[in-house]
Copies of this chain bind each other. A is one copy, B any other.
Amino acid sequence: MPRIGMEPLRRKALIVAAIDAIHDRGMGHVTMGEIARRAGVSAALAHHYFGGKDQLLLATMRHLLAELGDEVQAELAKANSPQERISAVIRGNFSACQFRPAVISAWLAFYVQAQTDPEARRLLRIYTRRLESNLLHALRDLTSRAQAERVAEMAASLIDGLWIRRSLAESGPDAEGAADLVERAINDALKRKDA
A residues with CB within 8 A of B: 23-29, 101, 105, 108-109, 111-117, 121, 124-125, 128, 150, 153-154, 156-165, 167-168, 173, 181, 184-185, 188-189, 191-192
Contact = CB atoms under 8 A, between A and B. Distances in A.
B168 A128 contact: yes
Contacts of A185: 154, 158, 185, 188-189
A108 B24 CA distance: 17
Contact of A158 (B25, B112, B161): B161
Nearest to A25: B116
B116 A108 contact: no
Total identical chains? 4
Main secondary structure of the interface of A (DSSP, over half): helix
Contact of A181 (B23, B24, B150, B164): B150
Contacts of A117: 26
Nearest to A57: B28
A150 to B, nearest CB: 7
A160 to B, nearest CB: 4
B168 A161 contact: no
A157 B158 CA distance: 6
Contact of A113 (B26, B124, B154): B26
A115 B108 contact: yes
A154 B185 CA distance: 8
A183 to B, nearest CB: 11
A160 B166 CA distance: 11
A28 B30 CA distance: 9
27 contacts: A23-B115, A25-B116, A26-B112, A26-B116, A101-B115, A105-B115, A108-B112, A108-B115, A109-B112, A111-B167, A112-B112, A114-B167, A121-B168, A128-B168, A150-B181, A150-B184, A153-B181, A156-B161, A158-B161, A160-B160, A160-B161, A161-B162, A161-B163, A161-B164, A184-B189, A185-B185, A188-B191
